[in-house]
Amino acid sequence: MRRLVLVRHGESIWNAERRIQGQSCAGLSPRGHAQAAAAAVALAARHPDARLVTSDLQRTRETVAPLEAALGRRAAPDPRLRERSFGSWEQRLRAEVADRDVDRWQRWLAGEDVVGEVGGESAEALADRVEPVLRELLDTTPDGGVTIAVTHGGPVWQGVHRVTGVAPGTFGGVDNASFHDLLSYGEGGAVVLDRWNEVGHVPTHLRSGWTLGVSEAVLGAITAGSDAPPVGR
């Protein structure tokens, strides 16, 4: 059996500001650094021999740093684990986009994948990018071993749905500093989900859930099975 633990980055400065990030970055907030430290303690205790991989963006590099220190080794950067590009929406406050791009934003809230219209990456393109790297990380993990990959909400959400063959919208949200475990029982074999959105390692007062600043329309769309998770991961 091979295990791949996907970890979403800690709360970023732009998460706290409700700003759309995509592949732009401003690093972690103070709460995000505390979340990363808590995640490192839990992961180092559970998987002291794990291989470490990370998205190359600042917020993931800052999240993996305390785990690197705890295990005494560096995480290999992999740009394929980056968040989805949000084109011209990146770096803008969600409220600003809602005010200035009203029709498109309302279509997004209704579950329509409009990101390609603003020069970003479609949900399908994101899944196409992430699925191969998740399979590769599982296949190259030694039998009985563990790989920890620090990434973003979009790759976790779209990637896990795709690699497990589950219909988009089946799983819920992806919290900051959450863990998601995938298992494989042989190279090229079926991939199963063992754990989704575990946050018990993060003290309650430090948690920042996926619903932070998300409208009821988005929550409804996800519950109904849309493939449009909350913006700004």
Q: Which residues are catalytic?
A: 9, 83
User: Can you list the pairs that 43-48 forms with residues at least 24 positions away whose Cβ atoms lie under 8 Å?
Assistant: 43/5, 43/7, 43/67, 43/70, 43/148, 43/179, 44/70, 44/71, 47/3, 47/5, 47/146, 47/148
What span, in angstroms and rounded, lies between the C-alpha atoms of 187 and 132?
Answer: 13
- Separation between Cα atoms, residue 182 and residue 131, nearest integer Å: 12
Q: How many angstroms from the chain centroid is the CA of residue 8? A: 4
**Site of tokens 């706290």:** 16
How far from the centroid of its chain's Cα atoms is residue 162's Cα? 14
